[in-house]
């Protein structure tokens, strides 16, 4: 659950590290502590997929009138397509030896790249002049209807189709754009570990933090993602789904 457009093509300008400070004397580099190794908790993948597909189908059936109404309102109130589609990085199967044998990707994007679906909440030409930039509070590119959808996270509902297709789970880390993922995995320790499971519509990081507005926000969410991986289970997923309800109803962290 995040902004449609996240960072500009010139990622360095926003995520740049502080410049090094020149010193008159050469100092010995401090000894860094060993990196923490995160081992995701194992789960039965086929059973997890069946549960996610069943939940997604049930949600689509129950929410079909709402989804149809939102699609109609978006169409009538703003010129452009109803749905917003974007490339995102999914699960990294190269970490699974048996599946990596069948992986013919020429380049390692960090995971399988797929198309994510959302209701369009910004003007159709939102990135025409500024490129892909992070959405902000009272962002002028967001339509009136789009602002309502984003506050209640209703723009994420089309991702139920991504769950049925196998791109995503109901619960998991949020998927990132390939260009941004390539930058973040060089800036944030253990960032690629998030790709050891399918991304999710909601997740521990999403119900614990608002939309990303800085690199520190991403770091905070990564810690939650790694915490989820260490204890992922059906009960944990249900707990996060239940926590998602008040986040949506009370507009927590959405803008």
**Residue with more model confidence, 241 or 135:** 241
Q: What is the pLDDT of residues 44-67, one digit of tens each?
A: 999 999 999 999 999 999 999 999
The tally of domains found in the chain comes to 1
Count of helix runs (H) and strand runs (E) in the chain: 9, 4
Q: What is the pLDDT of residues 215-241, one digit of tens each?
A: 888 999 999 999 999 999 999 999 999
In a domain, 33, yes or no: no
Q: Which domain holds residue 118?
A: 41-249
Strand partners of residue 87: 115
In a domain, 234, yes or no: yes
Enumerate residues 6+ apart whose C-beta is below 8 A from 158. Answer: 67, 83, 117, 118, 119
Question: Using 50, 70 and 90 to split pLDDT, how confident is the model at 252?
Answer: confident
Q: Would you say 223 and 191 are in contact if contact means Cβ atoms under 8 Å apart?
A: no
- Selection from 177, 172, 255 nearest residue 221 by Cα: 172
Which pLDDT score, from 0 to 100, does residue 136 have?
Answer: 54
In a domain, 24, yes or no: no
Pairing of strands 169-171, 200-202: parallel
Tokens in use for 209?
């933090």
């Amino acid at each position: 659950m995040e902004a449609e457009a996240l960072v500009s093509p010139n990622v360095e300008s926003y995520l740049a590290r502080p410049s090094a400070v020149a010193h008159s004397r050469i100092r010995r580099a401090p000894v860094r502590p060993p990196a923490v190794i995160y081992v995701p908790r194992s789960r039965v993948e086929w059973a997890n997929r069946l549960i996610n597909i069943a939940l997604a189908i049930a949600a689509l059936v129950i929410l079909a009138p709402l989804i149809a109404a939102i699609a109609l309102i978006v169409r009538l109130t703003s010129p452009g397509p109803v749905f917003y589609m974007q490339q995102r990085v999914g699960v990294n199967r190269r970490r699974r030896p048996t599946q990596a044998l069948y992986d013919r990707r020429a380049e390692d994007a960090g995971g399988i790249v797929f198309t994510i679906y959302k209701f369009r909440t910004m003007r159709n030409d939102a990135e025409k002049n500024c490129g892909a930039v992070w959405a902000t509070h009272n962002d002028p590119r967001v339509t009136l209807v789009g602002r309502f959808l984003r506050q209640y996270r209703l723009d994420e509902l089309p991702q139920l189709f991504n769950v049925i297709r196998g791109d995503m789970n109901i619960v998991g880390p949020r998927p990132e754009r390939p260009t941004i993922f390539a930058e973040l995995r060089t800036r944030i320790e253990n960032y690629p570990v998030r790709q050891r499971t399918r991304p999710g519509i909601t997740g521990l990081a999403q119900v614990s933090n608002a939309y990303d507005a800085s690199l520190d926000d991403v770091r905070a969410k990564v810690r939650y993602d790694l915490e989820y991986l260490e204890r992922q289970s059906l009960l944990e997923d249900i707990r996060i789904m239940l926590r998602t309800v008040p986040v949506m109803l009370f507009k927590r962290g959405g803008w």
